[in-house]
Chains A and B, each alone.
Chain A
Amino acid sequence: MMRRQREGVLFDGPDWDFATIQRIYDAVEEVASGDLGLDVYQNQVEVITAEQMLDAYASTGMPLLYRHWSFGKHFAAHDSVYRKGFMGLAYEIVINSNPCVSYIMEGNTATMQTLVIAHAAFGHNHFFKNNHLFRQWTDADGILDYLAFAKNYVARCEERYGQAAVERLLDAAHALMSHGVHRYPRKKRPDLRSEERRERERQLHQEQTYNDLWKTVPGKKRGHNKKTDEEHLRALLELPQENLLYFLEKTAPRLKPWQREILRLVRHIAQYFYPQRQTKVMNEGCATYCHYAIMTRLHDQRRITDGSFLEFLQSHTNVVRQPEFDDPHYGEINPYALGFAMMRDIERICRQPEDEDRQWFPEIAGSKDPMGVLKDVWANYRDESFMLQFLSPRLMREWRMFHLVDNPDEPALRVGAIHNEQGYRRVRQSLARHYDMAWLDPDIQVVDVDLAGDRRLELHHNVFNGILLQPDEAEQVLQHLADLWGYGIVLKEIDPSTGATLKEHTARARSPFC
């Protein structure tokens, strides 16, 4: 019976029904879990219409999110572009949750559905489940419940405190969202019970080792090594602090509990998306590599027809197209293209390494187990470290990458490095840095609060390469920040090499939240 099912094509022509989807899913799963050995959350495939896809776009892909005008704005923009035919919709959206929800559009052909299931339900799903950033920072089991809670909570606050008040708070929180993530795990605060236990143990130890003679030994004068008041306060406020939303939630003096809770909601959602921002290339590369492998395997097994395979190849090549820098269509490096190319390259290095690869990648060259290597890569790296490790000279040559420097002190742009022996490492380093969030997001920290005086908050922006903040936007964000803090703030843009203040922004709380 099982054998009979395995033979024969899965579908013929573009039409599909739910039985077809089930058949496709089973075939894809067989390849994905069997041949590739992917490890995925349970899947939930949802069929939606184009309009629902637009809805999903507007709420950053989440199935449910609290209400806010900015989502309406994004919806209006997407809607307008889509109607004019400038933009095709994505074939799928996948949510990092357990079970992993993938949306597929009703308008897709059967081939596209196969591609989408292979791409999202297995490729992305494997990545979500295994990558260390997602494991560490996101809670796939709880996210849907949490979003439902957030939505209800915001709705309740609107009922209670008025839509205008909640909207203003969300505006302010959204403005700070990019600086509302923890980049490193925090120190766990000891709870009361473990504190007590420690105290007891210490006392016990002292009692056991009590010796009256110690009294006679002259000791240090008391209170000598005490921290200064200032240091003590800074420690209490956990300064310096780069998670602005966290800092406000915990310490802003005038916020009401419900306002703190909403800041917390926004912060959690920002944190949930943070790994996705850091792994765009890898995530798409992983999914694209998987769908390519699965579709090819299905075609080899004669489970999809040559026609379907050609249809797949066409949309696949569209997805991984990378225009060159002088092409009018060039926008930026296509994460699908780069990700896919690198995954294939790793596979090549494992299978047919050249001398150069042996020299550059001694650990993996010729290992004959590309899937094992790839799975390890998918689990343990993020975009930046992935590129720093695995971008091969051969790929740089194929892409003909070069590094261009725009130094304001020089009259013209300068080519810093190209794809040659002297340039490989520099090109690779610069490219990797473009995927480093710590490098892309401005480094802004709360450094001090004038607690003895007017409670003014002081923030520093450590300026890299002389790139300041976008002034008009910074001003608006700082106004939000001042309103949340409830008192004045000052943001100093500081050159870390000289310590000189390049620019200073100030804001007063005009209409503080309270």
Chain B
Amino acid sequence: MYIIDRRLNAGGKSLPNRQRFLRRAKALVQRAVADKAAERDITDIDASAEVAIPRGGVGEPRLRRANSGGLRDYVLPGNKKFVEGDTLERPPGASGRGSDAGDGEGEDEFRFVLSREEFLQLFLDDLDLPNLAKRRLMTSEAFGIRRAGYSVTGSPPNLALTRTMRNSLSRRIAMRRPSATELAQLKEKIEELENGPPESAEKLTSLRRRLEEMDRRSRQIPYIDPIDLRYRRFEPVPRPVTQAVMFCLMDVSGSMTEHMKDLAKRFYMLLYVFLKRRYRHVEIVFVRHTHEAKEVDEDTFFNSPETGGTLVSSALVEMKRIVAERYPPGNWNIYAAQASDGDNSSADRGTCTVLLRDAILPLCQYFAYLEVGAEDEGHRIGFATHKTALWQTYEALVEAGSEIAMRKVNHRREIYPVFRELFRRRSDPVEQGAS
């Protein structure tokens, strides 16, 4: 008998099959994922999920006998009172009983759990960050260090021991440096002869001479020679900037309802998850404003009530200040998403335009403006007919050639489509960036 411990074998043997399954059912799973995402809390969008897809889409048909019709019989255990010839009412739902029904075939949905990675992969599939071209053009790059072979010079901590000893060994063999065992054997033999009969004196002398010769040789040929030394070599490699900062700007004046804030929060969450998959390191800055702007933590940002007028430019100024202070654009990819109900004081319009066009937009990889409306507003008056002050400001900017992504959202279910639309993979991103 053999006992074999297989526990250390690489797990995930089913992983390739699982991936094939997901790919096959991709369209179905993607729809399920979108549904799931819509009903999910923002905080756990970034977790694994159970999804259900129609069974027919991934069925494995077999030639089998039908579940109903025809003459059927069963042998059952546990008879209590029946005698031969008794009749029983047919149970409702036909005769699905018996061994013919395969396991679980009755269910019309196939349920399984997607891991966090798989969920996000499907959730954010074929979305892409716009304006990546800009990132490529950026000159200032961070440098990393990478192993690059061996060199003959270097500092002692970088000594490549195995390589050095290998060189030393081959050199010693090539130069015929006597080894320790050889010397020991010879000495032993001489000792033996010294205690032995006197007639071996001649042999003894020759052996002694040989020992002397070997000693000399091992003194002349060093065990480790500077020639043998090898050091691990490192070289600096340029690394593209892989950190991003995301600015969340939000109007928290009295006109913003809880519903609107919730819409904004959902959008920010999606953006955060998305950035996180593209960049190794993502920071978030929350800037909220009424007639003056302040950087706050997440909880305050979403939950603490505030009153006051509305001055959008204050938030832009604050953002500009924070960028200048902490996030040099050379090292950071800057994303900004602004949410507002569209109110702004009319005096602020000029300041906003100038700030955005000359200061903020050139810093940003991407600037999205999300106008949130009341839940029932979309049905009553389309936004085409009614344009808010801020919308008009930004629209003018866009017409003048600035790049602002603008969308209006009234309902929770629109968040996901709007997000997808904003980040849909363009057919030719380079061209897009150049235009």
Residue ranges of A at the interface with B (Cβ–Cβ < 8 Å)? 18, 21-22, 25, 29, 42-49, 51-52, 54-55, 58-59, 67-73, 75-77, 79-80, 83, 99, 103, 106, 121, 167, 171, 174-179, 322-327, 330, 332-333, 399-408, 410-420, 422-423, 427, 430-431, 434, 440-442, 444, 463, 465-474, 476-477, 480
Complex contacts, A76 vs chain B, CB 8 Å: 18, 21, 112-113
Contact of B95 among A18, A406, A418, A463 (CB under 8 A): A406
- For this complex, 16 residue pairs linking A to B, each with C-beta atoms less than 8 Å apart, are A43-B1, A43-B2, A46-B3, A49-B7, A54-B14, A67-B20, A75-B18, A79-B113, A175-B62, A403-B75, A434-B99, A465-B70, A469-B66, A471-B66, A472-B61, A480-B61
- Contacting A at CB under 8 A, from B72-101, are 72-80, 82-90, 95, 98-100
Instruction: A430 to B73: give the CA distance in the assembly, Å.
Output: 8
Complex contacts, B24 vs chain A, CB 8 Å: 69, 167
Question: A477 near B79 (CB under 8 angstroms)?
Answer: no
Does B44 lie at the interface of the complex (its beta carbon under 8 Å from any beta carbon of A)? no
**With contact pairs A59-B14, A415-B82 given, residues A47 and B64 touching in the complex (Cβ less than 8 Å):** no
Does B6 lie at the interface of the complex (its beta carbon under 8 Å from any beta carbon of A)? yes
Of all chain B residues, the one with the shortest Cβ separation from A327 is: B78
Complex contacts, B9 vs chain A, CB 8 Å: 52
Instruction: A4 to B73: give the CA distance in the assembly, Å.
Output: 58
Question: A79 near B112 (CB under 8 angstroms)?
Answer: yes
Contact of A405 among B4, B73, B80 (CB under 8 A): B73
**With contact pairs A73-B110, A79-B113, A418-B83 given, residues A44 and B66 touching in the complex (Cβ less than 8 Å):** no
Complex contacts, A325 vs chain B, CB 8 Å: 76-79
Does B19 lie at the interface of the complex (its beta carbon under 8 Å from any beta carbon of A)? yes
Complex contacts, B12 vs chain A, CB 8 Å: 51, 55
Question: A52 near B21 (CB under 8 angstroms)?
Answer: no
The total of Cβ contacts below 8 Å across the A-B interface reads 254
Complex contacts, B62 vs chain A, CB 8 Å: 175, 177-178, 473, 477
Instruction: A175 to B59: give the CA distance in the assembly, Å.
Output: 10
Question: B74 near A404 (CB under 8 angstroms)?
Answer: yes
Complex contacts, B2 vs chain A, CB 8 Å: 43-45, 99
Does B157 lie at the interface of the complex (its beta carbon under 8 Å from any beta carbon of A)? no
Question: B3 near A22 (CB under 8 angstroms)?
Answer: yes
Determine how close the nearest CB of chain B comes to the CB of A320; give it in whole angstroms: 13
Complex contacts, B1 vs chain A, CB 8 Å: 22, 25, 29, 42-45, 121
Determine how close the nearest CB of chain A comes to the CB of B255; give it in whole angstroms: 45
Complex contacts, A79 vs chain B, CB 8 Å: 112-113
Question: B50 near A473 (CB under 8 angstroms)?
Answer: no
Complex contacts, A174 vs chain B, CB 8 Å: 60
Determine how close the nearest CB of chain A comes to the CB of B70; give it in whole angstroms: 3
Determine how close the nearest CB of chain A comes to the CB of B51; give it in whole angstroms: 10
Does B280 lie at the interface of the complex (its beta carbon under 8 Å from any beta carbon of A)? no
Determine how close the nearest CB of chain B comes to the CB of A5; give it in whole angstroms: 16
Does B147 lie at the interface of the complex (its beta carbon under 8 Å from any beta carbon of A)? no
Question: B66 near A175 (CB under 8 angstroms)?
Answer: no
Complex contacts, A473 vs chain B, CB 8 Å: 59, 61-64
**With contact pairs A44-B1, A47-B5 given, residues A324 and B11 touching in the complex (Cβ less than 8 Å):** no
Question: B86 near A414 (CB under 8 angstroms)?
Answer: yes
9 extra A-B contacts, CB within 8 A, seeds A324-B78, A333-B77: A75-B17, A75-B21, A77-B110, A178-B64, A403-B75, A408-B69, A466-B69, A468-B70, A476-B59
Determine how close the nearest CB of chain A comes to the CB of B129; give it in whole angstroms: 30
Instruction: A403 to B73: give the CA distance in the assembly, Å.
Output: 7
Determine how close the nearest CB of chain A comes to the CB of B14; give it in whole angstroms: 4
Does B67 lie at the interface of the complex (its beta carbon under 8 Å from any beta carbon of A)? yes
Question: B14 near A58 (CB under 8 angstroms)?
Answer: yes
Question: B17 near A68 (CB under 8 angstroms)?
Answer: yes
Does B111 lie at the interface of the complex (its beta carbon under 8 Å from any beta carbon of A)? yes
Of all chain B residues, the one with the shortest Cβ separation from A406 is: B72
Does B380 lie at the interface of the complex (its beta carbon under 8 Å from any beta carbon of A)? no
Question: A47 near B6 (CB under 8 angstroms)?
Answer: yes
Instruction: A405 to B87: give the CA distance in the assembly, Å.
Output: 9
Of all chain B residues, the one with the shortest Cβ separation from A43 is: B1
**With contact pairs A68-B17, A167-B20, A419-B79 given, residues A406 and B73 touching in the complex (Cβ less than 8 Å):** yes
Does B58 lie at the interface of the complex (its beta carbon under 8 Å from any beta carbon of A)? yes
Complex contacts, A477 vs chain B, CB 8 Å: 61-63
Complex contacts, B83 vs chain A, CB 8 Å: 415, 418
8 closest Cβ pairs, A-B complex = A324-B78, A72-B21, A72-B17, A467-B70, A76-B112, A466-B70, A325-B76, A476-B61
Does B434 lie at the interface of the complex (its beta carbon under 8 Å from any beta carbon of A)? no
Question: A326 near B78 (CB under 8 angstroms)?
Answer: yes
B 18-31 binary contact with A (CB < 8 Å = 1; else 0): 11111110000000
Instruction: A298 to B348: give the CA distance in the assembly, Å.
Output: 90
Question: B77 near A415 (CB under 8 angstroms)?
Answer: no
Does B226 lie at the interface of the complex (its beta carbon under 8 Å from any beta carbon of A)? no
Complex contacts, A412 vs chain B, CB 8 Å: 87-90
Question: A72 near B11 (CB under 8 angstroms)?
Answer: no
Determine how close the nearest CB of chain A comes to the CB of B18; give it in whole angstroms: 4
Instruction: A26 to B59: give the CA distance in the assembly, Å.
Output: 46
B 136-163 binary contact with A (CB < 8 Å = 1; else 0): 0000000000000000000000000000
Determine how close the nearest CB of chain B comes to the CB of A498; give it in whole angstroms: 15
Does B71 lie at the interface of the complex (its beta carbon under 8 Å from any beta carbon of A)? yes
Question: B64 near A55 (CB under 8 angstroms)?
Answer: no
Determine how close the nearest CB of chain A comes to the CB of B247; give it in whole angstroms: 39
Complex contacts, A326 vs chain B, CB 8 Å: 78, 80
Does B13 lie at the interface of the complex (its beta carbon under 8 Å from any beta carbon of A)? yes
Question: A73 near B77 (CB under 8 angstroms)?
Answer: no
Complex contacts, A418 vs chain B, CB 8 Å: 79, 82-84
Most B C-beta atoms less than 10 A away, residue of A43, A83, A415, A422: A415
Instruction: A469 to B24: give the CA distance in the assembly, Å.
Output: 27
Question: B21 near A80 (CB under 8 angstroms)?
Answer: no
Determine how close the nearest CB of chain A comes to the CB of B381; give it in whole angstroms: 46
Does B65 lie at the interface of the complex (its beta carbon under 8 Å from any beta carbon of A)? yes
